[in-house]
Structure 1
Amino acid sequence: MSREPEDEPALRAAGAEDTTRRQELAAFLRSRRERISPEQVGLPRGARRRTPGLRREEVAQLSAVGVTWYTWLEQGRAIRVSAQVLDAIARALLMDPAERGHLFVLAGAGDPRPDYDCPLRSPTALRLMHTIAPYPATLQNARYDVLAHNRPFAQVFGELTELPARERNCLWLLTTSSRWRETFLDRDEMLRDLIAKFRVGMAEHGAEPAWKERLDGLLAESAEFRELWERHEVATMSPHVKRYRHPEVGLLSLEHRNLWMAARPQAHRLVAYVPADDETERRLVRLTELSGA
């Protein structure tokens, strides 16, 4: 009696999951197509229209893809679809940011416009970030770019607005900044962990120009980064406590907490640096007093 290969159940499960995802993608595209009228996209309705919303050939025309190819996509066939084509379909179907993100997840592709859905710079997000004071806080994207930070963050880690835009990135600063190297007592461990998390993000977004540019820049800048990158380590996002030596108030033990601003993993987030002990709490308050804020 022959035995089933040990990896056969896993392969079958993966195949079933892929089939389910394609079917969900097909149903999602049909639902988005049927809700849009020809007039919304500048097409004539015509006298014999029976299909609710747009026809498949109209979506194909608006997306500049073949009718047969788009039909196969709506039928849930196992075909490869590029991020650029998904971008065109999302535009043709007038998808909002949430729908667009869902489309790319179902298609298993990275969004070539990762900042399309960027709620971080909204007044609400900025207000929340500043309200967290006297705790340091930042608004970051999945590449660890610091898009905004509050005053306590600048007091603890430095004023990032004085740096060129390409250097306002936690991974870049942890790799290249002498101040961060001296201030972060767990710097070597932090760098290794952050690189491992960045690799997880690269697996999803590596085809996107902004991600590739960030990786290429780090590889060119730092031999240390190149060595750690070659280890192929991966890590997940999780709360953790790190220690910092501040020249005015002394040791700060801060727990990193993430508040996700979008539904997708590895997405935009608010990062709060919360005191891990009472002494750090008092020292952060003292730092605020010293600054006169």
Structure 2
Amino acid sequence: MNDPSQRYKELGDFLKTRRAKILPSQVGLSEGTRRRTPGLRREEVSFLSGVGLTWYTWLEQGRLMQISSQVLESLARTFMLDEQETMHLYTLAKQTPPTSFPICNDTATPMLQHVLDSLIFSPATVLDSRMNVIAWNRATTKILLDYSKISASKRNLLRIMFTNDEYKKMNTDWELTAQKMVAIFRATYGKFAGDPWVEDFVNELRHESTEFDSWWTTHNVKTDEEMFKNINHPVLGQLKFEYTSYQVLSDTNLKLTVLTALPGSETEEKIKEFLMNQT
């Protein structure tokens, strides 16, 4: 396929067909009553992927454009592409496919989501290898952060730790926690250095945060571990937790993280009363 215009037309057609295959209910959207065609609207793709509506429209129109690996990654997640489809998407865009970093779905299985939902008073999330938040429970939404209000392309815990002011203020020991998170990600980065997604991500975050840029250059490494975590909630005040994480048996690229109220503290009673009064 030597003609660039033909290549990008093929890319646009491929995106349109993948968009048509995704039901709104699959990505947590309402079906609505005015849908004339199956699948997602372009506006919905833009919201879910974090890709600008105009820019995405140009992609479907087959315009000749330089497309970053992060955009491709986000679109692959939004359209729930399998490995073969993802490789095809990258090939059409003339980008190096993500052959090293594991490709994970951006939603949890129903069984895993049920586990999350059963942890009524413990904020819990599921992270992939890149620290993308792919699932969470109600306690997380009410106590920590409502991830549904963040586009999928920006729903990365490391990025949120450094760029979300609300989240930063809630972390009592923000500097220590943030440095630990950088060291954990650095250890993972060492396994996949050169991967297009991770290189783009690190470069963007270094540009967005002077703290991340400074700590990234120290090359500190650390593995995830059990720890105590303090949260300064705007309504409930100080909350004390035990932090634990677990590898997901059905997909070892995923990790379940749980914040459990510290025994002997007032945290559990505060959370119970608070959540009972929430609609």
Fold-level similarity (TM above 0.5): yes
The question of 1:152 aligning with 2:177 is answered no
Cα distance in 1, alignment partners of residues 115 and 250 from structure 2: 18
Q: For residue 172 of structure 2, what is the amino acid of its counterpart?
A: L
Contact 1:119 1:125 in 2 (8 A): no
Q: For residue 286 of structure 1, what is the amino acid of its counterpart?
A: E
Task: State how 1:197-208 maps to structure 2 within 5 Å.
Answer: 197-208=184-195
What SS is found at the alignment partner of 2:277? helix
Q: CA deviation at 1:166?
A: 2.3
Gaps of 5+ in 2: 1-82, 84-97
For the pair shown, the structure with the greater C-alpha radius of gyration is 1
What SS is found at the alignment partner of 2:257? strand
Q: What is the RMSD of the two structures over their aligned residues, measured on CA atoms?
A: 2.2
The question of 1:211 aligning with 2:198 is answered yes
TM-score (norm 1): 0.58
Give per-residue Cα distances to partners, 1:223-258, cap 9 Å, x unaligned.
111100111111111101111111222211112111
Q: For residue 262 of structure 2, what is the amino acid of its counterpart?
A: A
Q: How many residues align?
A: 182
Cα distance in 2, alignment partners of residues 192 and 271 from structure 1: 18
Cα distance in 2, alignment partners of residues 187 and 290 from structure 1: 29
Cα distance in 1, alignment partners of residues 221 and 136 from structure 2: 27
Give per-residue Cα distances to partners, 1:101-158, cap 9 Å, x unaligned.
xxxxxxxxx9535125x59621111111111111111111121111111111011112
Taking a change above 3 Å as real, the CA distance of residues 241 and 120 of structure 1, as seen in their structure-2 partners, is farther
The question of 1:122 aligning with 2:102 is answered no
Gaps of 5+ in 1: 1-96, 98-109
Q: For residue 114 of structure 1, what is the amino acid of its counterpart?
A: P
Taking a change above 3 Å as real, the CA distance of residues 119 and 162 of structure 1, as seen in their structure-2 partners, is closer
Taking a change above 3 Å as real, the CA distance of residues 113 and 237 of structure 1, as seen in their structure-2 partners, is closer
Taking a change above 3 Å as real, the CA distance of residues 157 and 247 of structure 1, as seen in their structure-2 partners, is same
Aligned to 2:219: 232
Cα distance in 2, alignment partners of residues 175 and 139 from structure 1: 19
Q: CA deviation at 1:261?
A: 1.0
Task: State how 1:140-219 maps to structure 2 within 5 Å.
Answer: 140-219=127-206
Q: Percent identity?
A: 21
Aligned to 2:262: 276
Aligned to 1:88: none
Q: CA deviation at 1:282?
A: 1.0
Cα distance in 2, alignment partners of residues 224 and 184 from structure 1: 15
Alignment match of 1:222 (pick from 199, 202, 209)? 209
Contact 2:163 2:209 in 1 (8 A): yes
Q: For residue 269 of structure 2, what is the amino acid of its counterpart?
A: R
